[in-house]
Each structure stands twice: as structure tokens, then as C-alpha cells.
Amino acid sequence: MPSVADLVEDQVLRSLASPEGYATGRLLADQGAVTFEQFGPMVVRAVVADDGEPYVVDLRVGPGKLAWTCSEPGGSRGDFCRHCVAAAIETWRRAPDRAATSTAGAPPVPQPATGAAPQPGPAPAAAPTGPSFPPISGLHAILFGPDADELRAFFGQTLGLASVDAGEGWPIFAMPPAELAVHPADVPGQGLYLLCDDLDATLAELTRRGFRSFAPIHEEAWGRVTELALPGGVELGLYQPRHPRPTG
């Protein structure tokens, strides 16, 4: 049975909150706005001070996933608001068994660079260790297109991926866990697909964020599939897999 602290991974919070809600919530957490009234494995109650007002956030282990409430008017609509984000980030940081693996106490996701100094590459996400990851520490995918700025805006603003400044404003985006398959083919090559857990929900969310350039869904034995038409004519597959997925 997972605990609340197990269910508040950074990528989960990003998928639940709006990009603005996520950014504001993280700011609140970083400002020390969160205090805990209860910190149990199944229930966490936090008070988030926002602009002088206290908001009470409950995070609980729901059926297989995170459940939450916020005391703010409208919080009962079920939005994963900035207060929920702030409480969840602090929960992640303070989880007792996380302290041993995260020296900075922050989620293991590269953060946007704040200073002028170029940052080195992203820190390895949740450092995969153990026999299933010999000398490889990650997968670096590259898209090529005539309008890099628009492509970057899709990943940074529409998808809301965190990034690090690799130098002179060149962003490298954080991605969820990767996997690699090999298909027999006459012509050597590479392919790139994004994965999601619920294609309908993902496309609805993309639409809500103003992105509608995707092909009709087609059903394959291995998943439900579409193609995203990204700026500059770049095509990128997106599918909800039906196949098993490896875990690190």
C-alpha cells in the first residue's frame, strides 16, 4: 500500500495541476508557506499560508491514487490547486525515507535555472541503480525543426515540462521514464513516441491548453495512437500503450 508521500512524485503533481497552479504552488513551498498539522502515511494535513490567508489541504491515499481537498472556496470542485501543489511538494521533501536518497530534499527533477550561470546537464532523475541499468544513465532525445523556439514553447509551455538552461538559454526538458524497443525493419532508423496513461484525457488536456494539431486516434494491438503535428512540421507519435511497460 503506498503512502501519501509515495503518491506525490513531481510528475504526478505536474499532471494534476495547471501549469500556473504548479508554478505558484512550488513558489509557495519554496517560500516556506507550508506547515503540517498531521503527517501520517495515509493522511497528511497541511496549512498553506497564501497572501496572509491560511488554506487547509488534506492529502490522502485514495483508491490507487492521491485524493485531496483544499479549504478555499471552490476547492471542493476538485481542482488540484496551488495549495495542494505546495503541500504535496513539502510532503515529498519531508517524507522520512526520502531524506536518505535526496540530498537536496527536492524532487529529483531538473529545475529551471535561476541564475545567469549556465547549468550543467540535468541531474539524473531518480538515479536508476541496480543490475537493470548497467552503464547507461538516461535517454536524451532530440527533435530537429526549422522553428526551435516554437517547438520549445510546446514542450515548456503547452506540456509544462520543467527544463534546465544548458547554456545561453538552450533548454533541455525533463521527461518521465523512458523505454526502448527494437523493431525489425529493412531500413535502419529511429522513432520517437510520447506515452500517456489515458489518451482521451491527454488530448482533452492538450485541447484545453490550446493545442489541437493531432490526428484521429487509431487503435492498434499495442496501443491507442495518435500523431502530434508540432510547429515546423515536426511529427511526434503519442500513444496509450497496451503492452507491458518495464519498470526500472
Judged by the rule CB under 5 A, the positions of this chain that interact with Zn ion are 55, 70, 72, 75, 81, 83
The torsion region of residue 199 among left (phi > 0), alpha (psi -120 to 50) and beta comes to alpha
Residue with cell 498531521: 38
Per DSSP bridges, beta strands 66-70 and 193-195 are: unpaired
Give me the least distance between CB of 105 and Zn ion, in Å please.
Answer: 23
User: Judged by CB, which is closer to Zn ion: 58, or 72?
Assistant: 72
Q: How far apart are CA 182 and CA 185, in angstroms?
A: 9
Q: Which residues contact 28 (CB under 8 A, 6 or more apart)?
A: 34, 48, 49, 50, 82, 83, 85, 86
**Nearer of residues 83 and 152 to Zn ion, judged by Cβ:** 83
Helices (H) and strands (E) in the chain, counts: 5, 10
Which alpha helices (DSSP H) does the chain contain, by range?
10-16, 19-30, 82-94, 148-153, 199-208
Residue 82 or residue 93: which is nearer to Zn ion going by CB? Answer: 82
Task: Find the shortest distance in angstroms from Cβ 72 to Zn ion.
Answer: 4
Least separation in angstroms between residue 4's CB and Zn ion is 17
Using the minimum distance from each CB to Zn ion, give the nearer residue, 10 or 72. 72
Read off the amino acid at residue 59. L
We find the least distance from the C-beta atom of residue 236 to Zn ion, in angstroms, to be 34
Closer by beta carbon to Zn ion, 62 or else 105:
62
Closest CB 58 distance from Zn ion, rounded Å = 11
